[in-house]
Amino acid sequence: MTIQRVRIGDRWVGEGEPCFVIAEAGANHNRDLAMGRELIDVAAEAGADAVKFQTYSAETLYSKRTPRFSYLEGVSDKDTWDLIKAIELPREWQGELAAHAARRGIDFLSTPFDHRAVDELAALDVPAYKIASFEIVDLDLIAYAAARARPMILSTGLATYEDIADALSACAAAGNREVILLQCASLYPAPPARMNLRAMATMRQAFAVPVGLSDHSLGIHVAAAAVGLGASVVEKHFTLDRSLPGPDHSFAVEPAELKQMVRQIREVEAALGDGLKRGPAPEEEEMHQKARRSLIAARAIPQGTRIERSMIAIKRPGFGIRPKFIDLVVGRVARVSIEEDTVLTWEML
């Protein structure tokens, strides 16, 4: 089965390609444009491939009768609708934020939550659309975005196989098969035991598309582990300061952690290698020569002596006769006088 690659901007994303790292600013701009620009700066300096915001309006996102979320107790005393209204990204900022991201050399993305958001982001020529986990059942929104002929990144928190298949079918019906699926645990923060990173392989096998992780866990180790398990995309919430007011700061990583996460992801990618066993790498040659074991003279061996097992030790360094050939050495005659602790070579026998 061939897993397709997807092109996001000037980057190929998928098997065999570097992980595409999305720094999720979300609502952590706190309706401060200068803070939004600073978040973009932080993402660029960390080495992320994209910085992502969220484009929504309370009026089209939540009923005013929506109950409060328990995880926000102690974070905000606002009702759900009022809280969402208070943290909306002012839509007139999007052009400025996209332009600032372009100046910093990082892709600008924003999750659309309504058709108008899709249109606004299309006007900014975003390189991909990211659909949030809760919206995977909004097939109309998914189809509307997919029709824009940009890659679709779908988070799958709470989703069943049926939900995912429906969303992929909506994309395909709109003529778009460039889809990436992200494993996600829709908890804030998400406990490691609920992350289920192995679901990435399950989705890759079931749907033959690139997969990745939308990570709400604390810390950065789960994101790095996901890359070891084949994540082609990693998305992580970040903030300028976890102590800032707002619903998404407390579980987000701070600038130094984001930078470290990107570095760890790149190190994990380098560590994976190609899977072939070739023996020592050029950098390991000294260790190969000096730290492996070989056959050593256990005592002085005069010229003409027939070698006995007791005359041979197996110890370092490793540039002599390999230990597995000891039975071929025993019984041979010393061609030269061999001092104690000499590394044995075939020329001596």
The domain defined by 282-348 carries CATH number 3.90.1210.10: yes
Residue whose entry in the numeric block shows the structure tokens 């939004």:
36
Residue 74 in contact with residue 188, Cβ under 8 Å? Answer: no
Average pLDDT of span 253-264: 98
Residue 62 predicted with pLDDT over 90 = no
Rounded to two decimals, the pTM is: 0.90
pLDDT of 75 > 90? The answer is: no
110 membership: H or E segment, kind and range: strand 107-112
Give the SS3 label for residue 309: helix
Structure tokens at 79: 């009702």
Rg (CA), the chain: 29
Comma-separated ranges of CATH 3.90.1210.10 domains in the chain: 282-348
302, pLDDT greater than 70 = yes
Residue in the block written with tokens 């994101």: 223
309-312 long-range contacts, CB within 8 A, separation 24+: 312/344
Residue 71 pLDDT class (50, 70, 90 cuts): low
Which residues of the chain does CATH 3.20.20.70 include?
Answer: 7-272
Domain 7-272 matching CATH 1.10.3470.10: the answer reads no
d(CA 297, CA 162): 70
Q: Which amino acid is at 326?
A: I
Task: Give the whole-number percent of the chain exceeding pLDDT 90.
Answer: 88
Residue 87: the pLDDT is 80
Cα 306 from Cα 231, distance rounded (Å): 61
